[in-house]
Amino acid sequence: MAALATQAETPNASGVHPYRSIALAVALVVALACGATSPNTPDQWTSDAASLNITDATSTLLILASGDCFGSYGEFTGAIPTGQFALSGTFTQLGGAYPGKITYPAQFAGSKRATTISITVAVPDLHTSFGPFTLTPGTLPAWPQCLYP
């Protein structure tokens, strides 16, 4: 037992303690595997018809309208879990007349994989749904908000 203690306390030729370096390596692997401080998935997803920005507080799905601008968007709290999901949130339609936008309760459903998110927005008050949109990781497009007269 004394030999084991002496070996753990004695640095090797490069000046590194063998057991300490192993312990540090194990701690690093555990931290990376557990996602200690940041998510392993991107926070920006895009397609030719929608874009999704995920933050710790709110996720926002912009839906492209004709004219290369977004005319509606959905929001829900938090991030999307991996696998199948169903989340509650809101859907907002932009318009030119007062009040300028109308917000409805909405349901977001779909699936999240390592490289794709498929998402559909159901808006019961409008008796309609939008999507499904298939999004991949990428930089969000610079779509402006539609300006309605």
Over the stretch 86-113, which tens digit does the pLDDT of each residue have?
999 999 999 988 889 999 999 999 999 9
pLDDT at residue 12, as a whole number = 56
**Cα 77 to Cα 39, 56, 113, 121, 125, distances in angstroms:** 16, 8, 19, 14, 20
Contacts of 103 (CB under 8 A, 6+ apart): 90, 91, 92, 93
pLDDT at residue 148, as a whole number = 76
pLDDT at residue 86, as a whole number = 96
Any domain includes 144: no
Same domain, residue pair 27 and 59 = no
Any domain includes 112: yes
Q: Kindly indicate the confidence band of residue 10, based on its pLDDT and cuts at 50, 70 and 90.
A: low
Question: 39-43, 105-109, 123-127, 140-144: which has the minimum mean pLDDT?
Answer: 39-43
pLDDT at residue 11, as a whole number = 57
Same domain, residue pair 30 and 48 = no
DSSP letter (8 states) at residue 113: -
pTM (whole model) above 0.75: no
**Residues above pLDDT 90, as percent of the chain:** 55
Specify the number of domains making up the chain.
Answer: 2
Same domain, residue pair 72 and 116 = yes
pLDDT at residue 67, as a whole number = 82
- Domain containing residue 100: 44-137
Same domain, residue pair 107 and 87 = yes
43-88 per-position pLDDT tens digit: 999 999 999 999 888 999 999 998 889 999 999 998 888 999 999 9
Q: Kindly indicate the confidence band of residue 133, based on its pLDDT and cuts at 50, 70 and 90.
A: very high
